[in-house]
């Protein structure tokens, strides 16, 4: 990349502190959540992945930050703490859904106890956006829609006492499902034909078994990638909308084997062999995936991941796309309430003729301010630079994405995420509806976990 572009990226980061995946119409819980920070949502309800383990957030929905108003669990005392909710579990619909109160400590669950050793849960996401986001999720504008009806069953393999077995399966229905299917091959594969009309569909993004012995665990099957920061699952992201980098420069799923090893209390190593990108139990290439997570200190955590090799066979006798993909994310607490996250991805691939297929760089910076246990304000700025035959032969085009949003946790089970998103596409590549050079759009969702 040119020095001027790197300088621009550094400036943006500083400002925040003070198969071809591109163009796919078919493309979950956090790969990881910020360390020592208010969890994006209830992590124990989200789809697990190695990067979840890499930097887990607390399974409790109660933040470690001081609350504003009544302390959690405080009884009504007539001093104004109950002015909105009546304290405890009263308030809106009798669930304590306004203000602070015990409602954040008492989530409702579909099954309070494991069934045959498996935790069963999920969530319902209803969303709305004023304009479509081409080359990303949220392509059904001006409609209140069921984006994710998610159900999972999971047993985490526990190797602390020797040999442990586990596994996980995820199913999703909604307008996000067609983008989550196994679209990596040109022929129908796995769940890639499970559509319901022009917008809705089904997907089965994870199905794997897991074995653990001591500090080592091994997944075998179909699982989420460990690349990047944002994810498919609504519960795994701060914002309602997604990065362009996430959608166009990272795999979603792999089929293969992945190991996680706890080297010490602060370091985890990931290594695996996968059959390319975004296919379901069918060979789509041969690639290595791996990475390292390091807790630097009480406030800072770094995660580096990579995929190297053949990404897409597309039923050809020779690989149609091969190359390398790198991602690094650094998360830090600037103050007790202010969290900074910076992510950079680099993707470089060639096709079977040796020509550059994709040459893309993304830099994304987040600044998240926690007001109290229920409210967090956030901003995200993304610079996405791309080129190559997989991007219609453009050379070093740039797109910019700035998003302002709020997470309001009305109840332990209920989250609202309104946002306003601005996208600048000066070359008019198509990142905005009607191919506009710039566009601002309101959007948001409601997520109910169970």
Lowest-pLDDT range of 144-148, 232-236, 387-391: 387-391
Name which of 70-74, 192-196, 242-246 the model is least confident about.
Answer: 70-74
pLDDT at res. 319: 64
Task: Indicate the helix (H) or strand (E) that contains 8.
Answer: helix 3-17
User: Based on C-alpha coordinates, what's the Rg of the chain?
Assistant: 21
**What whole-number percentage of the chain has pLDDT above 90?**
66
Which residues are within 8 A (CB) of 67 and not within 5 positions of it... i.e. 6 or more apart? 100, 372, 373
Instruction: Say which DSSP state 430 is in.
Output: S
Whether 293 has a pLDDT exceeding 90, the answer reads yes
- Lowest mean pLDDT of 146-150, 355-359, 369-373, name the range: 355-359
- Is pTM beyond 0.85? Reply is no
Residues with Cβ within 8 Å of 258's Cβ and at least 6 positions away in sequence, in order, are 50, 218, 219, 223, 226, 270, 271, 272, 274, 289
pLDDT for position 394: 84
Task: State pLDDT tens for residues 10-39.
Answer: 433 443 433 333 333 333 333 333 333 334
Residue by residue, DSSP assigns 363-389 as: EEEEEEEE-SSSEEEEEEEEEEEEEEG
Average pLDDT over every residue of 296-309: 97
pLDDT of residue 315: 54
**pLDDT at 93 exceeding the cut of 70:** no
Determine the 3-state secondary structure of 180 from DSSP.
Answer: helix
The answer to whether the CB of 126 falls within 8 A of the CB of 445 is yes
> Could you report the per-residue pLDDT of 376-406, keeping only the tens digit for each?
999 999 999 999 888 878 888 999 999 999 9
pLDDT at 130 > cutoff 50:
yes
Average pLDDT score, the chain: 81
What pLDDT, on a 0 to 100 scale, did the predictor assign at position 390?
80
3 state DSSP class of 335: coil
pLDDT of residue 94: 37
105 pLDDT tier (thresholds 50, 70, 90): confident
The Cα–Cα gap between 134 and 393 comes to: 18
| Pairwise CA distance, residues 370 & 366, whole Å | 13
Mean pLDDT for the stretch of residues 185-199? 89
pLDDT tens, residue by residue, 51-83: 333 333 333 333 333 222 333 233 333 333 333
Q: Mind listing the pLDDT tens digit for each residue in 408-436? A: 999 999 999 999 999 999 999 999 999 99
Q: What pLDDT does 186 receive?
A: 78
Q: Which residues contact 153 (CB under 8 A, 6 or more apart)?
A: 115, 118, 119, 120, 168, 169
Question: Mind listing the pLDDT tens digit for each residue in 320-370?
Answer: 889 999 999 999 999 999 999 999 999 999 988 888 989 999 999 999 999
Position 302 scores a pLDDT of 98
The tokens of 89 are what? Answer: 């579990």
pLDDT at 300: 97
Cα–Cα distance measured from residue 25 to residue 21, given in angstroms and rounded to the nearest whole number: 9
β pairing state of 200-213 and 394-411: unpaired
Lowest mean pLDDT among 15-24, 220-229, 291-300, 366-375: 15-24
Give the Cα separation of 269 and 248 in Å (integer): 26
User: Do the beta carbons of residue 253 and residue 182 sit within 8 Å?
Assistant: yes
């Amino acid at each position: 990349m040119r020095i001027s572009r790197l300088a621009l990226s550094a400036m943006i980061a500083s400002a925040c502190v003070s198969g071809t995946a591109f163009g796919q119409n078919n493309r979950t819980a956090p790969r990881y959540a910020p360390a020592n920070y208010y969890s994006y949502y209830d992590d124990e309800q989200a789809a697990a992945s190695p990067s979840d383990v890499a930097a887990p957030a607390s399974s409790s929905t109660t933040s470690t930050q001081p609350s504003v108003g009544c302390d959690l669990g405080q009884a009504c005392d007539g001093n104004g703490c109950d002015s909105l909710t009546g304290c405890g579990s009263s308030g809106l619909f009798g669930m304590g859904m306004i203000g602070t109160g015990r409602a954040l400590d008492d989530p409702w669950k579909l099954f309070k106890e494991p069934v045959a050793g498996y935790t069963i849960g999920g969530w319902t996401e209803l969303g709305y956006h004023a304009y479509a986001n081409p080359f990303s999720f949220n392509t059904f504008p001006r409609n209140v829609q069921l984006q994710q009806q998610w159900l999972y069953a999971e047993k985490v393999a526990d190797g602390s006492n020797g040999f442990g077995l586990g596994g996980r399966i995820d199913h999703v229905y909604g307008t996000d499902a067609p983008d989550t299917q196994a679209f990596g091959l040109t022929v129908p594969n796995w769940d890639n034909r499970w559509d319901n009309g022009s917008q809705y569909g089904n997907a089965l993004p994870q199905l794997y078994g897991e074995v653990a012995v001591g500090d080592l665990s091994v997944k075998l099957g179909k699982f989420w990638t460990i690349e990047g920061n944002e994810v498919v699952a609504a519960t795994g992201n701060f914002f309602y909308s997604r990065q362009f980098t996430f959608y166009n420069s990272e795999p979603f799923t792999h089929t293969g084997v992945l190991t996680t090893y706890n080297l010490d209390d602060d370091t985890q190593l990931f290594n695996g062999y996968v059959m390319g990108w975004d296919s379901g139990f069918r060979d789509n290439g041969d690639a290595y995936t791996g990475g390292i997570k390091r807790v630097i200190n009480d406030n800072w955590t770094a995660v580096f991941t990579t995929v190297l090799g053949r990404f897409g066979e597309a039923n050809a006798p020779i690989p149609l796309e091969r190359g390398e993909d790198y991602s690094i994310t650094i998360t830090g607490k600037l103050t007790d309430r202010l969290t900074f996250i910076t992510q950079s991805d680099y993707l470089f691939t060639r096709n079977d003729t040796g020509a550059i297929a994709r040459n893309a760089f993304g830099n994304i910076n987040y600044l998240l301010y926690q007001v109290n246990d229920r409210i967090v304000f956030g901003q995200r700025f993304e610079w996405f630079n791309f080129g190559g035959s997989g991007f219609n032969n453009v050379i070093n085009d740039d797109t910019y994405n700035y998003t302002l949003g709020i997470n309001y946790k009305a109840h332990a089970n209920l989250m609202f995420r309104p946002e306003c998103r601005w996208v600048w596409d000066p070359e008019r590549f198509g990142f905005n509806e009607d191919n506009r050079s710039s566009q601002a759009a309101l959007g948001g969702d409601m997520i109910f976990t169970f």
